[in-house]
Amino acid sequence: MHDGHRTDTHPPARSGSRLARAVPAAALLVALLGTGACSAAGGGDSSADKGVTAADGKAAAPGAEGAGERSADGTASKAKQNPAVAAHVIRTATLDVEVASVPQAVAAARRAAEGAGGLVAEETTERLDDTHEVSHLVLRVPQDRYEGVLEELAGSGRLLSRSSDAKDVTGQVVDVESRIATQRASVDRVRSLMEKAERLSDVVALEGELSSRQADLESLLAQQASLKDRTSLATITLDLGEPGEEAADPDDGDTGFLDALAGGWDAFLTVLRWITVAIGATAPFLAAAAVLAVLWRPVRRRVPRRRVPERPAPPAPPAS
C-alpha cells in the first residue's frame, strides 16, 4: 500500500512542475511579442522594455525607465536647466577670400588647420582660363581653436564674404545617450529571457526580437558617433581665388597708338580667320562643281546640235 501510494502521487507532481514551468514561459513569449509590436508601431523602446520587465517579474531601473519616457524636447529643456550638463554645439563657417597666390594660401590654410589639431577634409583646386586659380577647402578644427583659425583664415587676403552658424544640440545628445542606455538594458533582458527559454519556438521568437533590438541599438550608436564628430570638430568651408586681369591692372584705362595698332591687328586676324573658315566650308561644294564641269565638256561635244532651218530671204521690193 505504501508503494502504491508513492506510485500514484509522484507522476502528478512531475506533470505539475512541467506545467508550472511552461505557463510562465508562454506568458513571457506572449508579453514579449505584444510589447515588441507596440514598440515597432510607436517608434520607441520604453513600452517594450516595460512589457518585458513586467513579464520577467523584475522592475526596470528608475533611471533607465525615466530616460526612455522623456521626449527629445523634454530632455533638451532639462539639459539646459541642469548646469552640470556640458553644452554640445555644432559650429560651421564659410569664408570667401581673394589672395595673391592660391597655392601659397592653400598651404597656409593647411598649416593653420593642422597646427590647431584639425585636418583638411576636402580640397579642390583648378585653373580658370589659364590666368588664375581657385581653390575650395573644407577644414575641420577643434571647437576651442575654431575662432582663432577663423580669424587667421579671414586675414590671409581680401575678405569677400563671411558667414557662421552655431547650433545647440545638447538636448539631442543627452536624449540619444539616454535611449542608448535604455536600449542596452532591453537587449540584456531579452538575452536573459533566451537563457530561460526551453521551447524551440520561444527561442526562435526571442532571437528575432533580439536581432531587431540590436539593430535599433546600432542605429542609436551611429547617431551618437555622428553627433560627437560634429560637436567636437567645427567645420570651416574656405573658398580662395586670385584677382582677375581687370583687378590686377586698375590703372590701365588709357588707349594709345600701340594699343590701337594691336587692336586693329587682332581685328584683321579675326576677319582673315573667318574668311578662311568660309573658304573651308565651301571648298567641298566648289570641288564637286569643278568635277561636274570637267565631265560635262566631252558630253557636250558629242551631243549633236540641232540645225535651225534657214528662213528664205524676203523678196526684194520692185524697182520703181
Q: Which of 35-44, 45-54, 61-70, 241-250 has the highest mean pLDDT?
A: 241-250
Give every strand in the sheet of 119-128, ordered side by side: 119-128, 132-142, 233-241, 89-98, 158-168
| Residue 133 DSSP code | E
pLDDT in tens, 88-123: 999 999 999 999 999 999 999 999 999 999 999 999
In the chain, ranges of CATH 3.30.70 domains: 89-168+234-245
Instruction: Count CB neighbours of 150 within 10 A.
Output: 21
pLDDT in tens, 250-298: 455 556 777 788 888 888 889 888 898 888 888 888 888 888 888 887 7
Residue 208 predicted with pLDDT over 60: yes
- The C-alpha atoms of residue 113 and residue 153 are separated, in whole angstroms, by 10
Q: How confident is the model at residue 17 (pLDDT cuts 50, 70, 90)?
A: very low
Instruction: Count CB neighbours of 70 within 10 A.
Output: 19
Residue 132 φ/ψ, nearest 5 degrees: -150, 165
Residue 67 predicted with pLDDT over 60: no
- The C-alpha atoms of residue 15 and residue 23 are separated, in whole angstroms, by 12
- The C-alpha atoms of residue 51 and residue 40 are separated, in whole angstroms, by 13
**Encoded amino acid at 24, one letter:** P
Cβ within 8 Å of residue 313, ≥6 positions away: none
- The C-alpha atoms of residue 100 and residue 212 are separated, in whole angstroms, by 57
Q: How far is CA 189 from the centre of its chain?
A: 37
Instruction: Count CB neighbours of 185 within 10 A.
Output: 21
- The C-alpha atoms of residue 241 and residue 137 are separated, in whole angstroms, by 12
Domain 89-168+234-245 CATH assignment equals 3.30.70: yes
Residue 53 predicted with pLDDT over 50: no
Q: Is the pTM of this model over 0.95?
A: no
Residue 68 predicted with pLDDT over 50: no
Q: What is the number of H-type helices and E-type strands within the chain?
A: 10, 5
Cβ within 8 Å of residue 184, ≥6 positions away: 217
**Percent of the chain having pLDDT more than 70?**
64
